Copies of this chain bind each other. A is one copy, B any other.
């Protein structure tokens, strides 16, 4: 979905999200959070990539050209780029939406970007072409082909880390991959970031609906995904 958001006067970072009133259907009052898939600062074009899951996303598919949408955002903290070196992005499913924005940003700063994209079937792999066109190197793994096990992804990642001068690693969409990224970041002393999800009410930090637990030093802390996140340093992530 592409929107004209000319009223927007703030920069939009990859990893940030918008809180969206998908319809004025009284039955479904809450807004839904969607990551920025792409934002063009020049044309004020904002794009979302979303999976149709329940009523909210269903309602969004009914929108037609020219309709308007009530959005709050950009919200939350986005990704930060490394000072130098190449990026490794490991995305599963629709988690690629938010990493896509990161890839675009990194490419626009001429950083090298490698993307490992995981999905159930090859048909579920999203935006491979667009990423390639941006100049990212894309590796796809799927459950169906038996290539998506954590071990396979670990092997592939380690190869890339060793051979491609990766300095930062990012992930979204799977807690198993999140754990892997956490291990890789620690082992290889890489900058690492994780984009998280949580059910939200306000989206702006008032209601504490979106709590998640992070590790800061030796302490566990409860923070708000919408405000302190959705992107966290991978070292802080508490994943089970």
Contacts and interface: CB of A to CB of B under 8 A. Distances in A.
Interface of A: 25-27
Contacts of A25: 26
Contacts of A26: 25-27
Nearest to A28: B26
* Interface of chain A, main secondary structure: loop
Contacts of A27: 26-27
Number of copies: 2
A25 B24 CA distance: 11
A48 B144 CA distance: 57
Nearest to A25: B26
Give the 4 A-B residue pairs with the shortest CB-CB distance, closest first: A26-B27, A27-B27, A26-B26, A25-B26
4 contacts: A25-B26, A26-B26, A26-B27, A27-B27
A112 B27 CA distance: 52
A240 to B, nearest CB: 37
A142 B27 CA distance: 43
A208 to B, nearest CB: 29
Nearest to A26: B27
A26 B26 CA distance: 8
A59 B25 CA distance: 14
Nearest to A27: B26
A129 B26 CA distance: 41
A27 B27 CA distance: 7
A26 B55 CA distance: 13
A22 to B, nearest CB: 15
A173 to B, nearest CB: 32
A15 to B, nearest CB: 35
A27 B28 CA distance: 10
A118 B26 CA distance: 39
A72 to B, nearest CB: 24
A25 B26 CA distance: 9
A152 to B, nearest CB: 46
A74 to B, nearest CB: 32
